[in-house]
Amino acid sequence: MSALPEADAPTYGQILLWLEIFAGHVRAVDYAAARPMWHPDLLAFGTHRDFVPGLENAIATQWDNVWPRTAHFAFDLPATRVLGGGEIAVAVTPWTSSGYAQDGTRFDRPGRATMVFDRSGSPALAWGWRCVHSHMSLHRGIPQTSHAQRPVRAR
C-alpha cells in the first residue's frame, strides 16, 4: 500500500499559514479581508447548505449564518494534513469554535473541513493559494444554531 501524496514542506507551510490567516478573518468577522483568499467561482458544502456555487452565495448562505453567530474559530494546525503539490493542494483539518445558546450559554462547536486550493490567486496572498472548494461541517450532535450577534467588520 502506498503512502498518501503528502505535500512538500513549503506547500505544507503555506497552506497552514493560509488557514491561520483565514481563521483570523473569521474571528474578526472580516469578509472583505477573507474574500481575496477564495476563488470567485468556488464550490462549497457546509452545515447550512448542501451545495453552494460561487463566493457570493457562500458569503450569503454560509458566512452570514456562522461568522457573526460564533466566536473563537481556529483550525487545529498540528492535526492538519496537507496533500498534493504543484498547483493543487488539499487540506484535511479539524477546527474548533464557540457557539452560544439562546440564553447566552457558550458551548463547544467543533467540526472538520476539507479544502482544495490552487495557485491561481494573487502572489501577495499566501503565495498565490486560493481556496476553490471547501466542505466545512460540524461534528455529529453539535447544535447547528448559534445565537451570538457579532457585527460584520467589513463586507
Is residue 126 predicted with pLDDT exceeding 90? no
Q: What is the Cα–Cα distance from 24 to 118, expressed in whole angstroms?
A: 21
Residue 57 domain-assigned (yes or no): yes
The range of the structural domain enclosing residue 103 comes to 9-138
Q: Do residues 117 and 133 touch, judged by C-beta distance below 8 A?
A: no
Q: What is the Cα–Cα distance from 29 to 126, expressed in whole angstroms?
A: 19
Work out how many domains the chain is built from and give that number.
1
How far is the CA of 113 from the CAs of 81, 103, 135, in angstroms?
Answer: 11, 28, 5
Residue 151 domain-assigned (yes or no): no
Residue 86 domain-assigned (yes or no): yes
Give the model confidence (pLDDT) of 3-54 as tens digits.
999 999 999 999 999 999 999 999 999 999 999 999 999 999 876 667 899 9
Give the model confidence (pLDDT) of 61-73 as tens digits.
899 999 999 999 9
Residue 152 domain-assigned (yes or no): no
Residue 94 domain-assigned (yes or no): yes
Alpha carbon 101 to its chain centroid, in Å, reads: 23
Instruction: Give the model's pLDDT for residue 124.
Output: 61
**b/e for 116-152, b at 16 or more Cβ within 10 A?**
bbbeebeeeebbebbbbbbebbbeeebeeebeeeeee
Residue 148 domain-assigned (yes or no): no
Instruction: Give the model's pLDDT for residue 49.
Output: 66
pTM to 2 decimals? 0.93
* Average pLDDT of the segment spanning 118-138: 83
CATH number at residue 125: 3.10.450.50
Q: SS3 of 113, please?
A: strand
Give the model confidence (pLDDT) of 74-116 as tens digits.
999 999 999 998 899 999 999 999 999 999 999 999 999 999 9
Residue 1 domain-assigned (yes or no): no
Other CB atoms within 10 Å distance of the CB of residue 84: 19
Residue 147 domain-assigned (yes or no): no
